[in-house]
Structure 1
Amino acid sequence: MDFAVARKRMVGELVKRGITDQRVIDAMLSVPRHLFVEEAMSSQAYSDTSLPIGEKQTISQPYIVARMTELLELKGKERVLELGTGSGYQAAILATLTDRVYTVERIRPLALKARKVLDRLGLLNVNLKIGDGTDGWPEEAPFDGIVVTAGAPHVPECLVEQLAPGGRLVIPVGDRNDQRMVRVVKNADGSVVTEQSLDCRFVRLIGRNGWSEDS
């Protein structure tokens, strides 16, 4: 399979669906998504669908990755926090667009696998730790952008607190089955504006400020 051709076709479909940020488009063209899925599923890597990555988790569909990234409005010098490393694909996209990425994954095998792929691609501006992502990463705050790649029952206040003035938090919020994409923008005076975007469906955000493991 010619992955470069498949990736170009995938990005063409993203543009048709409304992705307009040229930097995001270029990032989606440059990052080899097939390296972040199981080898047996590599032929499906560039279809616009989520795929299982083990541990009852998934890699998000390309359109959702592109749209969430676009909502961050990155210019190139930001520090971005991702909660839910998963396969590492979203972190890789972010790492091509900004100075420093901090990503948290609660499932150790996924974190270790993602680290190997990120290192293979030379994306050394990604800091990864294993832990409860719903707490954010307060030691490294504030962040210019925060993206949460799992569905939350509400917007964790601790994440809003970890946003820098002018920062943006993108998070799916809803019940266990269906969510709406929410963007929280922190103004220079500390006030926040909340905007709703597209309907979506993510795995649950598990942790102290999300869903409980047995919910």
Structure 2
Amino acid sequence: MARNDSSRRWYLFDYGNVVSTSPTPEDWEQLAEATGVANLQASTSTYWQHRHAYDAGALTSDEYWSLVCGQRVGAVRSGWLDILDDNQWSHPNLETLDVLEDLDARGERLALLSNMPAAMVSQFIDAPWTSLFQRLFFSSSLRLVKPSPAIFHHVLTELAVEPDLVTFVDDSPANVAAALSLGIDARLFAPSSDLSRLLSAPAAAERPFPRA
């Protein structure tokens, strides 16, 4: 007898630094040259200060890049900056893709939950890797951003599954903590992580919270 879909596990993955690798120093240098702003990769830079609002769909590309650059940026230049930004987040983590393909071949249910601005979504939506996921959730479309509990509640409702039947993989300790607080089996991913081993580790309730 086939299992009821509501009793089957979902594997929910973040995109940046999980499916993709981090931007290279050369990527950041190219974006810095185009914006005229140095050290954009720093957590205190204007790139990150306004990223939450951009990921949430609260800012247009023109508005976001104007804030990053500290001066008005028109549609043509902001479109170019979006392309550079898309490119630097498009480097695939090949080891992650191998694991995803294996999970897909086994018939597991895969979903993506990413904080991602609309301009980037439009570029990535038809990328080959998206075919591995049955459901795609993007912050800019939902107007919700991790680690808000609301975005996880939305995903759980859409997947029609209980929290303990979702294994969530993310590189942000804050996002992992938020998911754990809702009863989701959340796993903290790092560049050195062996994803297969991470997924086969004991459930969250049976192991200590991972340190950053």
Q: Shared fold (TM-score greater than 0.5)?
A: no
Structure with the greater alpha carbon radius of gyration: 2
Name the TM-score class by shorter chain: 0.3 to 0.5
TM-score by length of 2: 0.36
- Structure number with higher strand proportion: 1
- Structure number with higher helix proportion: 2
